[in-house]
Amino acid sequence: MALCRAACDQRGHTAEVIATRTPEEATETARQAHESGAAAIFGCGGDGTLSSILQGLPVGSSTALGAVPLGTANVWAYETNLPMTPMAAISSQLAALEGREGSSIWIDTGRVWSTNADGSVASQRFLLMASWGLDAAAVNGIAGSDRRRGMKRMLGEPAYFLSAVQEAIGRKAWPIAFSLDGAPPRTVEVGLMTVGNTRMLGTWLEVNPKATVVDGELDLLMFKGAPWRALALSPFARHGWLPHGPGVSNHRFRRLEMTPLKETPPMQIDGEIGPATAYAIDIEPQALKALCPVPTSEVLGG
Ligand SMILES: [Mg+2]
């Protein structure tokens, strides 16, 4: 914390350092930062911390999002080529804030729509990716098991892959109907469908190699058939080499609607468990100001 303040002081910015204990506190802190007109808010942690902050910033807020990568995977920092040491990350993003190196860029965000128990509508924004199926089952598997949580602490990101292997065993595909941009619904049995604002699922799998956060669209990758098929093909996504064919398809859209036809597939949003009642995903074009010291990064459209 002292480091964060020192980095800002060095550059002549006034920074308030706030320790948050829960995602809700991080969301509330972001709301206050926006209301007080702060130039930027930095999430010190992983992608989950950035996600909590995003929930507190209204669409079009002039408070820019910065990241100090201290989490398990740090996908946003990885995607945007931020320095991975805290001091360097802060300095470079302050340079972007001042327009000396890179700049703050208006980027798209995604929004997941779901229903509450009383029938009212709820929504949640995302920065990176939302997905239904195997990957979400792996996230759920870690959250629901002390042993797998221990594995995550010990191994970091590979723990998600091991959890996915365990979840794929004997699991059938989820039959769903889906519609893109108001087109007639199609039915399909999916093992995994990822909706990416960004390219990477974790820092290992480049599932949407052509996705950018500035094109006003989201990228859907769909694996048909049992979840183990998605798992077996996943190594090909290591460097964006996923073969596309009958079982794997890509689509670009602005709004997706999904109806489960039997069991509801599990969902994850930016690496955390998502609502079981999610029924639609929208793009919010140019909805978030982000500090981007390396605007040539592919995901930024550079
Ligand atoms: Mg896009």
Q: Which residues of the chain have pLDDT under 70?
A: none
Question: Where in the sequence is the domain holding 85, given as residue range(s)?
Answer: 2-107+288-300
Share of the chain above pLDDT 90, in %: 73
- Number of separate domains in the chain: 2
In this structure, what CATH number is given to the domain that contains residue 50?
A: 3.40.50.10330
Specify whether 90 is located in the same domain as 126.
no
Per-state percent for the chain, helix, strand, coil, to nearest 5: 30, 30, 35
Q: Could you give the 3-state DSSP secondary structure of residue 139?
A: helix
CA of 57 to the centre of ligand 1 (A): 20
Specify whether 20 is located in the same domain as 102.
yes
Specify whether 151 is located in the same domain as 296.
no
Specify whether 100 is located in the same domain as 133.
no
CA of 194 to the centre of ligand 1 (A): 13
Specify whether 83 is located in the same domain as 128.
no
Specify whether 127 is located in the same domain as 144.
yes
Specify whether 141 is located in the same domain as 280.
yes
Specify whether 74 is located in the same domain as 136.
no
Return the bridge partners of 133, or none: 192
Q: CA–CA separation, 132 vs 136, rounded Å? A: 6
**What per-residue confidence (pLDDT) applies to 155?**
87
Residues 28-48 have pLDDT tens digits of: 999 999 999 999 999 999 999
**What per-residue confidence (pLDDT) applies to 281?**
98
Specify whether 147 is located in the same domain as 258.
yes
Specify whether the backbone of 74 is left (phi greater than 0), alpha (psi in -120 to 50) or beta. Answer: left
Specify whether 177 is located in the same domain as 126.
yes
CA of 40 to the centre of ligand 1 (A): 23
**What per-residue confidence (pLDDT) applies to 156?**
83
In this structure, what CATH number is given to the domain that contains residue 119?
A: 2.60.200.40
Give residues whose Cβ lies within 5 Å of ion ligand 1: 215, 217
CA torsion 287-291-296-301 (nearest 10°) is: -10
Q: CA–CA separation, 126 vs 50, rounded Å? A: 9
CA of 117 to the centre of ligand 1 (A): 31
**What per-residue confidence (pLDDT) applies to 10?**
81
Specify whether 159 is located in the same domain as 262.
yes
Neighbours of 68 (CB within 10 A): 26
Q: CA–CA separation, 164 vs 141, rounded Å? A: 8
Specify whether 123 is located in the same domain as 220.
yes
CA of 229 to the centre of ligand 1 (A): 26
Q: Please enumerate in sequence order all residues whose Cβ is within 8 A of that of 29, keeping only pairs 6 or more positions apart, or say none.
A: 18, 20, 41, 53, 56
Query: The whole model's pTM is what?
Result: 0.93
